[in-house]
Amino acid sequence: MPQFAANLTLMFTEHPFLDRFAAAAEAGFRAVEYLFPYEHSAQEVAAALNGAGLNQALFNAPAGDWAAGERGIASLPGRDEEFSAGLVTALQYAAALDCRQLHVMAGIPGADPQARTRYIKRLREAAEVAGEAGVRVLVEPINPVDMPGYFVESVRAGVELLEEIDHPNTRLQLDLYHAQITDGDLTRLIQRVAPLTAHIQIASVPQRSEPDSGELNHPYLFELLDSSGYTGWIGCEYRPAARTEDGLGWFAPYRAAQTGTAQPGFTQPGQPGQARR
């Protein structure tokens, strides 16, 4: 049965950030994710997480000047010290939150011929350092409609980059909303990239709202993931159409089955999606 993580950057925004943990638990979620926790201390976030009895599925490493339009710095020139310092900070939060997966955003490098080399070098660095702390580094393709110019612009591009990074501590963060826009053919795509995939995210397409509208058949996709051996969290990275709690009808059939545990990736023995270890 799929295990769902509420994305607290987009969901439960009716509440202050630290109160969203309790709201997610009350709604039946057993895990959370979000973009960034850094406006609060690691101790404050951990207290909210543990007080609600939740698991931390994922969050992002520092991504530069977000308000100025930066969307990660891993591919940007002249940011080596900032990148390394941000990784240290992220791993301190990961330790406090007992979080085992970290998304490192690539950034918007423009027409920089060195961006690819720089990105691969920094992701290898991140994978090595994070691996020593027991944290896996994830690469997420993001569609160019929502984020024009983002360096990892499709699942195909993300897989190629992972192959070049060639580090056992890196995996794919597969957001099915982005993947439908950039690659499509989700059934075959999921089957093809399963060995690289450690985290799944969802939202309706094209609205990016609750996964019970739009062009995707999410119950079918959940059954596909389940039958293929996916045992990780499914992050609900969508923008509720109204009040979050009022849009959770899609979640009702799954709420009672939430167990509070998940293992990243496709791990069921004998299934085509068995992940590398």
Q: Which residues are catalytic?
A: 140, 237
CA distance 262 to 273: 16
- Length of the chain equals 277
* Beta strand extents in the chain (DSSP E only): 3-7, 31-33, 55-60, 101-103, 136-139, 170-175, 197-202, 233-236
Distance, CA of 69 to CA of 159 (rounded, Å):
25
Are residues 25 and 48 in contact, defined by beta-carbon separation less than 8 angstroms?
no
- What radius of gyration, in Å, describes the C-alpha atoms of the chain? 17
Query: Is the previous residue joined to 264 through a cis bond, with omega within 30 degrees of 0?
Result: no
